Chain A
């Protein structure tokens, strides 16, 4: 029992409540309270990252002990994998909320914004720490509903249209997920992920099992915007206020989509050949299609949103390669390498895509446009934005010494070692096209000198926005050290181990 685990949900929930009540009475309370909450969560999640290691700690809500070895309480679980995801959620959350202090001052009813933001953080943290399928659904809906509201925060034509699309597809995904959970409960009579694993390991109906897997893959695939389900992502992510775009693209699609897919397909279902082929194919498809859709975009945030699909494709692809290797039962070290590469890219993508959306927000804040063709020559007027966005662009295109290079390298090496040469070649090609597309972004936004007359009063953005961008660009550089042998073992290996050895996860949780 670790009594600190529920803090990840309780603190932001209480914060949202307090901001709603006190925010009207005390001026500027909302901004600083939200920043403080996120700062606290960042420090707690870091502390867990350093202390968790190989251990699996559990919090049982209400203190209900298992009866005859069957867990009946709501379990909150902390292991090597989800501490990593918690860290990225809270860091990107802190940076975005600090950035919002000036960015959101142009909008009205700011206290609603900060309350919804805290609610979204609570939902995402809840999804990640929950060890129970139904609670994953509940927290998923908390984060989803607050993100619907946040996407529509500008209440203009585009925002409303985007949020309507997002809501219809998001609600569809939720029902499909709920249907899958109901079907699981019908057969397994339990909702605890570890216990479901135990129940299904003693035999199951193959067709039924496959139906559940397909339903959950569709549902969480819709939340994660893997390619056949991606229609809502470019609209929603480009219409939201920029700090929210950074949250949605940087963490929400990972916490609510990719994280749950990885967790369920490694730790709950037995890995099968068919599913791993399907997941790898979906990953490769989103990797390639996403980048081709991105290259023709002129709206900065739309371009970045399509790149999110493509970069998530890398993560799904490499996790799929890991599943494939495990299902063949040979050469576990390649599977471990592929999964570690995927998780590393997941972390990296949060850092650089968050930074890129904050840069796009800064450009929009000063120039008032998102169209690349109307910008140009901003490098002189906005040197910090230009430098940080250059760092992020190089990171996402995989140029050393930035973090994106190392994770893509690991993924490509894993694909080559696993003898999927076609996938390795595709990954390289997609990386090159990404580079081309970001060179276009850099050239049109910052260098391509246009007429100076209409650019006269453009200044660098205020301090909170600068601070957030600088912090994230430093994180982009620092994350490269995760590829070093000594550090990789302490940070990435616990996460890979818990995924590689699903019986360990199940036995540790039900055994406690």
Chain B
């Protein structure tokens, strides 16, 4: 069970970073940490004790295979995560050009 708890702790680390960090880039990094903790958990859901890669060998009927579907899902999710990260970094660079700072406390035009 330990790897699952570690994933959850990593998730909380990311959440803590998003809430407490003041630097925009560090918030983006915290988002990535959180994202990858979820990916790890997804990959772990396909794990089987003693499982091998799911290349079916008809001569060996007792072989245990890991579940390939979560792996496919994680691959898709990583691509999406890359797009999200690229987008947020682009926005951060634009914000830096406009405001001249990465500090979230100084970026507060919108209120109320």
Contact = CB atoms under 8 A, between A and B. Distances in A.
B42 A168 contact: no
Interface in B57-90: 67, 69-70, 73, 76-77, 80, 83-84, 87-88
A167 B94 contact: no
A138 interface: yes
B56 interface: no
A414 to B, nearest CB: 34
B56 to A, nearest CB: 14
A164 B112 contact: no
Contact of B92 (A148, A164, A183): A164
Main secondary structure of the interface of B (DSSP, over half): helix
Given A141-B80, A178-B77, A167 B91 contact: yes
Given A141-B80, A161-B95, A164-B92, 14 more contacts: A145-B87, A148-B91, A152-B94, A158-B110, A160-B95, A161-B109, A164-B107, A167-B87, A167-B88, A172-B18, A172-B31, A174-B84, A175-B35, A179-B38
Contacts of B31: 168, 171-172, 175
Contact of A302 (B15, B34, B67, B112): B112
B5 interface: no
Given A175-B35, A179-B41, A186-B45, A168 B18 contact: yes
B24 to A, nearest CB: 7
Given A157-B98, A164-B24, A235-B110, A179 B11 contact: yes
Contacts of B94: 152, 155, 160
Contacts of A172: 15, 18, 31, 34
Contacts of B67: 189
Given A161-B95, A182-B38, A149 B87 contact: yes
A155 B80 CA distance: 23
A156 B35 CA distance: 29
Contacts of A164: 24, 88, 91-92, 95, 107
A252 to B, nearest CB: 16
B25 to A, nearest CB: 12
B13 to A, nearest CB: 13
Interface string B30-52: 01001100100110010000000
Q: Which 4 A/B pairs are nearest by Cβ-Cβ distance?
A: A186-B45, A182-B42, A141-B80, A235-B110
Interface of B: 11, 15, 18, 24, 27, 31, 34-35, 38, 41-42, 45, 67, 69-70, 73, 76-77, 80, 83-84, 87-88, 91-92, 94-95, 98-99, 107-110, 112
B76 A138 contact: yes
Contacts of B107: 161, 164
A152 B91 contact: yes
Contacts of B99: 157
B98 A182 contact: no
Contacts of A174: 84
A178 B42 contact: yes
Interface string A167-207: 11001101100110011011001010000000000000000
24 contacts: A134-B76, A141-B84, A145-B80, A145-B83, A152-B94, A155-B94, A161-B95, A164-B88, A167-B88, A167-B91, A168-B27, A171-B35, A172-B31, A174-B84, A178-B38, A178-B42, A182-B41, A182-B70, A185-B45, A185-B73, A186-B45, A191-B69, A239-B110, A296-B112
B18 A297 contact: no
A433 to B, nearest CB: 18
Nearest to B70: A185
B84 A167 contact: yes
A160 B112 contact: no
Given A161-B95, A168-B31, A134 B88 contact: no
Contacts of A167: 84, 87-88, 91
A178 B77 CA distance: 9
A431 interface: no
A449 B77 CA distance: 55
A163 interface: yes
A162 interface: yes
A172 B30 CA distance: 10
Interface string A129-159: 0000010011001000100110010011110
A296 B83 CA distance: 38
A157 B98 CA distance: 6
